[in-house]
Amino acid sequence: MIRAYRATDIDRILEIWFAASLQAHHFIAPEFWQSQLENMRHLYLPAAETYLYEQDSEIVGFCSLYENNLAAIFVIPEKQGQGIGKQLLTHARSCRESLTLTVYQANEASYQFYLSQGFKVIGEQVDEHTGCPEYLMYG
């Protein structure tokens, strides 16, 4: 079930974001993700439109939209590969006419996921926070 985010969900969302970030972004030091927890809590999540995926009354994934940008889509690692990300992406697309997103070039699994969902690369850039190259995608 997908539902809107509530402020009481913040700790679970941060757990998912941190665990999935460590797994997907092995090329970035874990300390970076740790350093971003408070920004996620106080800046990024409050500014975004966020939806959660619940399975058996447990939050197992989420997506966040900021304007027409898919700012985040994360599924707890042990639940990945079960179609939850696709359902979250479908929901995000139902909220906007089109979406842009960025994905690290070294995050091959996520890059392939977005390609499989019809996104196209429209540019390349370097993430200002990590210095890692990323693709800008549209779909």
Q: How confident is the model at residue 48 (pLDDT cuts 50, 70, 90)?
A: very high
Q: How confident is the model at residue 69 (pLDDT cuts 50, 70, 90)?
A: very high
Q: Give 76-134 pLDDT, tens digit per residue.
A: 999 999 999 999 999 999 999 999 999 999 999 999 999 999 999 999 999 999 999 99
Element (H, E) at 135: strand 133-138
What CATH number should be reported for the domain holding residue 17? 3.40.630.30
Sheet of 58-66, strands arranged across: 2-4, 49-55, 58-66, 69-75, 100-104, 133-138, 120-126
Structural domain contains residue 84: yes
**Measuring CA to CA, which residue among 116, 128, 52, 129 is closest to residue 137?**
116
Structural domain contains residue 108: no
Structural domain contains residue 123: no
Token readout for 139 is: 């779909």
Structural domain contains residue 69: yes
Say how many domains are in the chain: 1
Residue 31 belongs to what domain range?
2-99
- pLDDT at residue number 44: 94
Structural domain contains residue 36: yes
- pLDDT at residue number 12: 97
**Measuring CA to CA, which residue among 105, 98, 100 is closest to residue 124?**
105
Structural domain contains residue 115: no
Q: How confident is the model at residue 135 (pLDDT cuts 50, 70, 90)?
A: very high
Q: If DSSP codes are grouped into helix, strand and coil, which group holds residue 73?
A: strand
Structural domain contains residue 72: yes
pTM of the model: 0.94
Structural domain contains residue 93: yes
Element (H, E) at 64: strand 58-66
